[in-house]
Amino acid sequence: ELSFKDGLTGVPNRRMLDKVFEEEWMTARRHQQPLSLLVMDIDFFKQYNDCYGHIQGDDCLKQVAQALSSAATRSRDFFARFGGEEFVMLLPETDASAAIKIAERCQQLMMKLQISHQESEVSQLLTISIGLGTIVPTPKDEIVDFVEQVDQALYRAKECGRNRVKTA
């Protein structure tokens, strides 16, 4: 169990994500169903750590992980820590419009936390940027390419001012 759980936040880790992602990808491809992915990054987290210290930074990561994991409500929705201050949510049988609603719920959950962030350039509270993608995988599609597209959407969200959702 420890090998699939993030030691700090207690949510599933990257290793577990890779395993679940592979299974859900194959299922979506077999049944020709949409699969959505959210990649979420805490805005200006390095500055948060520099300002408040690493112990408070760790506590912040735990709070964010708990809040965001509650946005995934169905049994097959999967939330994990991707690494550092990045989190992902894999949403089987979820089209783009439903995924956008979940991404917006994630941002609302962050606002409800009311974590002060005086070093942020976008808000006095901690915020997240989200890249979102939806695919009905075909045999030609590769997971790594899909993740790259969603990651690019995340970077666009950051380039456009952070604290927003951008779709691949």
Q: In this predicted model, what pLDDT tens digit does every residue of 90-137 receive, in sequence order?
A: 999 999 999 999 999 999 999 999 999 999 999 999 999 999 999 999
- Among residues 1, 23, 24, 85, the one annotated as catalytic is 85
Stretch 139-165: mean pLDDT, rounded? 97
**Residue 80 structure tokens:** 């994990």
Please name every residue paired with 80 in a beta bridge, in sequence order, or none if there are none.
Answer: 88
Name residues whose C-beta falls within 8 Å of residue 124's C-beta, 6 or more positions apart in sequence.
116, 117, 118
Read off the tokens for 6: 């993030």
Angle between helices 45-52 and 54-69 (to 10 degrees): 130
Instruction: Name the 3-class secondary structure at 59.
Output: helix
For the chain, state the CA radius of gyration.
15
Residue 103 contacts residue 168 (beta carbons within 8 Å): no
Please confirm, yes or no, whether 85 is among the known catalytic residues. yes
pLDDT, tens digit (0-9, with 9 covering 90-100), for 29-80: 999 999 999 999 999 999 999 999 999 999 999 999 999 999 988 999 999 9
pLDDT value of residue 137: 98
Q: Nearest CA to 133 among 112, 116, 117, 157? A: 157
Q: How confident is the model at residue 2 (pLDDT cuts 50, 70, 90)?
A: low
Question: Which residues contact residue 10 at a Cβ distance below 8 angstroms, ignoring those fewer than 6 apart?
Answer: 62, 65
CA distance linking residue 57 with residue 48, whole number of Å = 7
